[in-house]
Amino acid sequence: MNRRTFIRRGLWGGLLLAVGSSIGLASWPTDRSRKPRRGLRAIDERHFAILAAVAARMVGAPKADPIEIAHRIDAQLALGAPEARADFGKLLLLLENALAGLVLDGRARPFTHLSPAAQDDVLAHWQRSSLLIRRSGYGVLRKLTQAAHYAAPEAWADVGYPGPPQIGIPS
């Protein structure tokens, strides 16, 4: 974003924030159609739905299972510090938030309500953002979702990885 667009967005941003709050953009409900298959350990169902929607765009492998990926990340977060869990929840809500999206990217819907192509645009905005919080937020979501998919054996054949060798383990 160059200086001029920043100023323009800055001005418009203030106005939109005011209008947006009055029409409840910030609290537009999340599309929760991506539901957990089993009990959650670290995040709630709303976070889960957003996370699975992100996974569906981040991981390009045709056989990727966004629900399973979100479950794996939930299990991983359950092993982390409570503050890290809380931060991650905030990050998901920031991505989902239609109001922030409107101010910064000109989209007026929550992430989970966007078309796949529009979701990709949001990810591109975050990836390229001049705001460190968005760039690093993108990095966290990218790495966690892609790692959760590719770490598991089901993903290996697709990328030509034969798996660990059979080694005669000395007794």
Partner 1 sequence: MSQAIALHKPGAFVDAGTLADGATLKADVVIIGSGAGGAVSASQLASAGFDVLVLEEGGHHTRADFKMREDINYPMLYQEAGARATKDVGVTILQGRAVGGTTVVNWTTSFRTPAHVYEHWRSAHAVGGVTVEQLGPHWDEVERRLNIQQVSLDETNRNNRVLYDGCKALGLAVETTRRNVKGCMKSGYCGMGCPVDAKQSMLVTYLPDAVARGARVVSRCRVDKLVVEGGAVKRVAASVIGDDGYNVSGKQITVEARRFILAAGGIGTPAILIRSGLGGGMVGRRTFLHPVHGTAAHYKDPVEPYYGAPQSVASHAHADRGDEVGLFYEAAPMHPMLAAVATPGYGAMHHGAMQRLPYLAAHVALAIDGFHPSEEGGTISVRESGAPVIDYVVPLRVRKALLFGAKTLARINFAAGATEVGFGEFPHVLARNEKELDRLTENYDVMKLPLFSAHVMGGCKMGDDPKSSVVRSTDLRHHTLENLHVVDGSVFPTSLGVNPQESIYGLAHLISERLASAWKT
Chain residues in the site for partner 1 (CB under 8 A): 57-62, 72, 76, 78-84, 120, 123, 127-128, 132, 135-136, 139-140, 142-144, 146-147, 149-153, 155-156, 158-161, 164-165, 167, 169-170
Q: Which is nearer to partner 1, 22 or 130 (CB)?
A: 130
Q: Among candidates 72, 105, 85, which has minimal Cα distance to 43? A: 85
Q: How far apart are CA 39 and CA 50, in angstroms?
A: 16
CB of 48 to partner 1, least distance (A): 18
| Residue 113 near residue 31, CB atoms below 8 Å | yes
Give least dist CB 159 to partner 1, A. Answer: 5
Nearer to partner 1 (CB atom), residue 28 or residue 88:
88
Contact 90, 51 (CB under 8 A): no
Nearer to partner 1, 12 or 76 (CB): 76
Are 110 and 96 contacting, i.e. CB atoms less than 8 angstroms apart? Answer: yes
Residues 132, 46, 154, 164: is their CA dihedral positive or negative?
Answer: positive
Q: How far is the CB of 106 from partner 1 (least distance, A)?
A: 20
Q: Smaller CB distance to partner 1: residue 90 or 135?
A: 135
Nearest residue to 114 (alpha-carbon basis) of 96, 129, 99: 96
CB of 36 vs partner 1, minimal distance in Å: 19
Q: Which is nearer to partner 1, 18 or 117 (CB)?
A: 117
What angle in degrees, to the nearest 10, is found between the helix axes of 45-58 and 82-96?
Answer: 70
Q: Tell the smallest beta-carbon distance from residue 16 to partner 1 (Å).
A: 26
